[in-house]
Structure 1
């Protein structure tokens, strides 16, 4: 009897181990919901608190040099009133695990600017930001009448036009999964603090640059 129970336990463990990784649809609305919740959290709990609570462990921001966000945010007090922001457009990778959002922000003093944020699926499918940056503007960018979301075309895989297989689940919590290369981003920072943030999306024939932000030194 004990031997039979042991075999059953081993079989159950094997079934759990064989469970396929979670798959997520490339859903821009889930990123929009995360942005709305992020903004609301900033108004309710404070700007620095909201940024820290929604950041992945390896998230980076620029002050103006690149820093690990959570380490830097630990030393920052919440301002008396948080900046407010609104998303204009969201781009999501083919596998639904990476996204980029961009839009406008307004400070309590009335100054305006833009932002761009890179999001990655974390534990249990929660969106966590991994890069956030922005800059001031003399006047706000024109906001679209309707918020839009776009999904990258799947890159050609080993079986013709079939999408690539889903990545294996990570054992390190928020460690990035292998990218599907349908949504690429880069953030290049110069020694003077200027930077270039670029996001490119695969269209099926080529990469289209969908976000191209240039921040001058001293901004």
Structure 2
């Protein structure tokens, strides 16, 4: 896996390639509805570093919103599921290899390989939401099998959905970050990025990401998770 220093370099290059920027976070300057995939990458890297330095579940709680969800295998609130959960002795390690952002930067998807303490490799998929102070926090996290023969790319791909025709950036402030009863499916504030998760009866899942391209919404990312294995007690999970 790449070192974090190399990833930080890739993040900086992504900013140049994407040509997108936003005002500094945590200030009183108005936020503008502009995509900033490099900020999503930087936050993902900070999340991964926190897992190493502070503990996996501590980092998950820190970087998740209060209503963040994941499949366990049924949808559950992450903060409730991880309340008082002890951190594992060895952290999960991960890094992004691709980011998709809405035109207005309100939501973004990050994905990449993850290495578990058991040695298992998976692909994470995370939906990030820009908060009222400009910081990104995640609202949805899922895991999938890593592709067979996965080859690590040289750069982190940063992609931005097309902006709606006639959109103006002359907006004093972006809309307040909304909270949701469920984040399994949703869309960005400007509608240029949307995602759906089908949770099947056997707890298998299919996630699809759509982005605005050439004036229409097109599928740009899809991942399928098989039904989870039957646990040792022999009771197959049902969703």
TM-score, normalization: structure 1?
A: 0.80
* Gaps in structure 2 of 5+ consecutive residues: 1-27, 181-186, 230-239
Q: Measure how far apart 1:174 and its partner are.
A: 5.4
Q: Contact 1:112–1:138 at 8 Å: present in 2 too?
A: no
Change (3 A) 1:178 1:208: closer
Cα separation, 1, equivalents of 2:147 and 2:222: 18
Q: Measure how far apart 1:138 and its partner are.
A: 7.6
Q: How far does the alpha carbon of each residue in 1:92-126 deviate from its partner, in whole angstroms, 9 at most, with x for none?
A: 11111110011101112321111110000113011
Q: Which residue of 1 aligns with 2:94?
A: 85
Q: Contact 1:112–1:139 at 8 Å: present in 2 too?
A: no
Q: Contact 1:185–1:200 at 8 Å: present in 2 too?
A: yes
Q: How does 1:26-45 map to 2 (within 5 A)?
A: 26-45=35-54
Q: Which residue of 2 aligns with 1:113?
A: 122
Q: How does 1:4-15 map to 2 (within 5 A)?
A: none
Q: How does 1:113-192 map to 2 (within 5 A)?
A: 113-137=122-146, 139=148, 141-156=150-165, 161-163=166-168, 169-170=175-176, 175=179, 179-192=189-202
Which one of 31, 53, 67 corresponds to residue 62 of structure 2?
53
Change (3 A) 1:140 1:75: farther
Q: Within the alignment, does 1:71 sit opposite 2:80 as a pair?
A: yes
* Gaps in structure 1 of 5+ consecutive residues: 1-18
SS at match of 1:123: coil
Q: Which residue of 1 aligns with 2:216?
A: 206
RMSD: 2.5
Q: How many residues align?
A: 195
Cα separation, 2, equivalents of 1:49 and 1:38: 10
Change (3 A) 1:40 1:162: same
Q: Measure how far apart 1:62 and its partner are.
A: 0.8
Cα separation, 2, equivalents of 1:110 and 1:141: 15
Cα separation, 1, equivalents of 2:175 and 2:212: 24
Structure having the higher Rg: 1
TM-score, normalization: structure 2?
A: 0.74
Q: Measure how far apart 1:163 and its partner are.
A: 4.7
Q: Contact 2:69–2:141 at 8 Å: present in 1 too?
A: yes
